[in-house]
Amino acid sequence: MGIGIDLGGTTIKGGIVSSQGDILEECFKMTESHRGYASVLDDLTDLINCLLELAPEEMVVGIGIPGILSQDGSTVLSCPNLEWKNVALKKDLEARLTVKVLLVNDATAACIAESAFGSLGGKANAMMITLGTGVGGGLILNHKIITGAHGVASEVGHMVMGKNFYSCECGKNGCLETFASATALVRYCDMRLKQGVRSSLEKAKMMDAKFIVNEAKSGDALALEAIDRLAEYLGMAISNISDLVDPEIYAIGGGLSYSGEFLLEKISLATKKYLTYPDFATPEIVLARFRNEAGIIGAANLVNYI
């Protein structure tokens, strides 16, 4: 049992999570990041104290952060959504609270949730890949999360896959998330429509990834081309990761996971095409079980994976 916090750019969500992965109590606050770090720190403290009052026993607090943490997990080095750089969040919270605080990247928190109670099924070597506005990742090897020497391990969205027609917000060209995210899907279709390709996508007042997926399922040629391209690059990335660390299973989560088996099958086929040892080292690729609650559940169980 533990307390998990999902610190987002717009909302702070927290919950008491049982040893079976159920959220027993839940609280939330709006994230007023425009008021600065001190204001968010106050709100976090209030929310955690609220949950501690509801808790039947003293609990460790885990917090999922949408950013990069120091290797020891004490400092938020970069969190663009909150405009934070080099903030000692762990120390600042523990000075206000009576319990231990642990920090984790939000994609890694989702990976923990899937490992402990979801689609990753407690496998020793597993990876979570989230496909949304960008591409995130969390990696577990020998039942422990991997953060690396500088806290930036499993930043799969910024693996360079080849030249692309637009650059990533990080400044590089060719990042995976410019090929395999919801944003990438929309930008690719926009580009092809401007080139004069005819498609049912032209009827969209405001095109988004969900609309593209639905049109692909209906047989639109451009939508299918875009989905196949996304799956191809994600398959390349998964095969590269497999050659390096050999996870036995991957869970695909994030907003694009609503595409279901339609996208999953394409990703699996592309992965097998690029694997070095497909005959005996093909990983299982599954859909994530959890959606919005993954951050809370994973953060609450962080203590078991470090």
Pairing, β 61-65 against β 2-7: parallel
pLDDT tens for 286-305 read: 999 998 899 999 999 999 99
119-287 matches 2-105 in CATH topology = yes
For residue 67, what are the contacts with CB-CB under 8 A and spacing of at least 6? 76, 77, 78, 79, 80, 81, 82, 84, 105
Angle 303-141-300 (CA atoms, 0-180°, nearest 5)? 20
For residue 229, what are the contacts with CB-CB under 8 A and spacing of at least 6? 179, 188
Q: Give percent above pLDDT 70 in the chain.
A: 100
Report which of residues 232 and 66 the model is more confident about.
232
pLDDT level of residue 32 (50, 70, 90 thresholds) = confident
pLDDT tens for 98-112 read: 999 999 999 999 999
As a whole number, mean pLDDT of residues 42-56 equals 95
As a whole number, mean pLDDT of residues 46-61 equals 94
pLDDT tens for 194-217 read: 999 999 999 988 899 999 999 999
Task: Give residue 64's pLDDT.
Answer: 96
Task: Give residue 241's pLDDT.
Answer: 98
Distance CA 253, CA 135 (A): 10
pTM: 0.92
Task: Give residue 205's pLDDT.
Answer: 86
| Sequence spans of domains, the chain | 2-105, 119-287
Three-class secondary structure of residue 117 per DSSP: helix
Q: Provide the total of helices (H) and of strands (E) in the chain, helices listed first.
A: 8, 13
For residue 171, what are the contacts with CB-CB under 8 A and spacing of at least 6? none
Task: Give residue 273's pLDDT.
Answer: 96
pLDDT level of residue 172 (50, 70, 90 thresholds) = very high
pLDDT at position 16 over 90: yes
Task: Give residue 35's pLDDT.
Answer: 85
Residue with tokens 């990247």: 105
What's CA 51's distance to the chain center, in Å? Answer: 25
CATH architecture designation of domain 119-287: 2-Layer Sandwich (3.30)
Choose the CATH number for 2-105 among 3.30.465.10, 3.30.420.40, 3.40.50.2300, 3.90.25.10: 3.30.420.40
